[in-house]
């Protein structure tokens, strides 16, 4: 009942011409796929050209970040309205790299989510624990705080949650399927507290070293509704295999 959602997070990769090259090969490779929502999140500089190239396809355009003010003197920032203006349907908010390198706090993440909601753009809200937190048995506490603070004051359930254990991002170490399912099921429990039965319609996607080799096992988990893919989304061949999970 929850349609799978698989997103490519290109991070700080790909020039405009590399973006065009990827999209021109990717569109025909996935044109008959109907059972999965696919999103691509290129860097800001490639968004416009990606929007033009994705026109007339079902592939959704996503940004990787957004600022929480509508406009004004915020050098270097991009507002939700600017993203909507060029055709973005989603934005990633609270990625662990933003939290780690750019000091984004739960409070900033919450402001961004509120601003994006107000503007009407879809949200991919990232949460996840560090290795140290996992090893000291704090995974659920960390997830609980990130959910409560990140979604504070949000009264509708139309957000995609990306569970991304930080120790699995870019490391080649994927969470075992049991670990992923356990975390996703805990996240859904917390979402039920906020959104009651609507939580069962919310998509909780997994991120952290997703590859064509491990996608099938992850997607077979009851509460894993898709994936946020970094490294393996940079090549048309591997990302195509991932969005066609369960088929080859």
Q: Which residues bind ligand PGA (CB under 6 A)?
A: 9, 164, 169-170, 207-210, 228-232
With CB atoms as reference, the residue minimizing the distance to ligand PGA is 230
Task: Kindly state the smallest distance separating residue 169's Cβ from ligand PGA, in Å.
Answer: 4
- CA dist 185 and 133 (Å) reads 18
Q: Which of 104, 133, 164, 184 is catalytic?
A: 164
CA-CA distances (angstroms) from residue 228 to 7, 43, 84, 86? 5, 15, 21, 22
C-beta of 169 vs 187, nearer to ligand PGA = 169
Q: Which of 95, 97, 104, 129 is catalytic?
A: 95
Task: Kindly state the smallest distance separating residue 85's Cβ from ligand PGA, in Å.
Answer: 25
C-beta of 104 vs 164, nearer to ligand PGA = 164
Q: What angle do CA 201, 37, 247 make, to 5 degrees?
A: 105
Asked whether the beta carbons of 61 and 90 are under 8 A apart, the reply is yes
- CA dist 245 and 248 (Å) reads 7
**Which residues contact residue 55 at a Cβ distance below 8 angstroms, ignoring those fewer than 6 apart?**
87
Task: Kindly state the smallest distance separating residue 1's Cβ from ligand PGA, in Å.
Answer: 25
Task: Kindly state the smallest distance separating residue 109's Cβ from ligand PGA, in Å.
Answer: 15
Q: Is 164 a catalytic residue?
A: yes
Asked whether the beta carbons of 92 and 41 are under 8 A apart, the reply is yes
Catalytic residues: 95, 164
């Amino acid at each position: 009942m929850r349609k799978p959602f698989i997103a490519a997070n290109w991070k700080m990769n790909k020039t405009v011409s590399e973006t065009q090259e990827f999209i021109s090969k990717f569109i025909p490779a996935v044109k008959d796929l109907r059972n999965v929502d696919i999103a691509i999140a290129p860097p800001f500089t490639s968004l416009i050209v990606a929007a033009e190239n994705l026109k007339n396809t079902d592939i959704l355009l996503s940004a990787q970040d957004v600022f929480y003010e509508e406009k004004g003197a915020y050098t270097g920032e991009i507002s939700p309205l600017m993203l909507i203006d060029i055709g973005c349907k989603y934005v990633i908010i609270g990625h662990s790299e933003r939290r780690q390198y750019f000091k984004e706090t739960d409070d900033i993440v919450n402001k961004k989510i509120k601003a994006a909601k107000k503007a009407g753009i879809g949200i991919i809200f990232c949460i996840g624990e560090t290795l140290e937190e996992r090893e000291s048995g704090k995974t659920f506490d960390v997830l609980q705080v990130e959910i409560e603070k990140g979604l504070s004051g949000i009264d509708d359930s139309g957000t995609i949650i990306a569970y991304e254990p930080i120790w699995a991002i870019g490391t080649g170490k994927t969470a075992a399927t049991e670990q992923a399912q356990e975390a996703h099921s805990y996240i859904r429990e917390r979402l039920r507290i906020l959104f009651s039965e609507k939580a069962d319609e919310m998509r909780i996607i997994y991120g952290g070293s997703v590859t064509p080799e491990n996608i099938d096992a992850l997607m077979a988990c009851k509460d894993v509704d898709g994936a946020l893919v970094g490294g393996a989304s940079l090549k048309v061949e591997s990302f195509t295999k991932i969005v066609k999970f369960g088929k080859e």
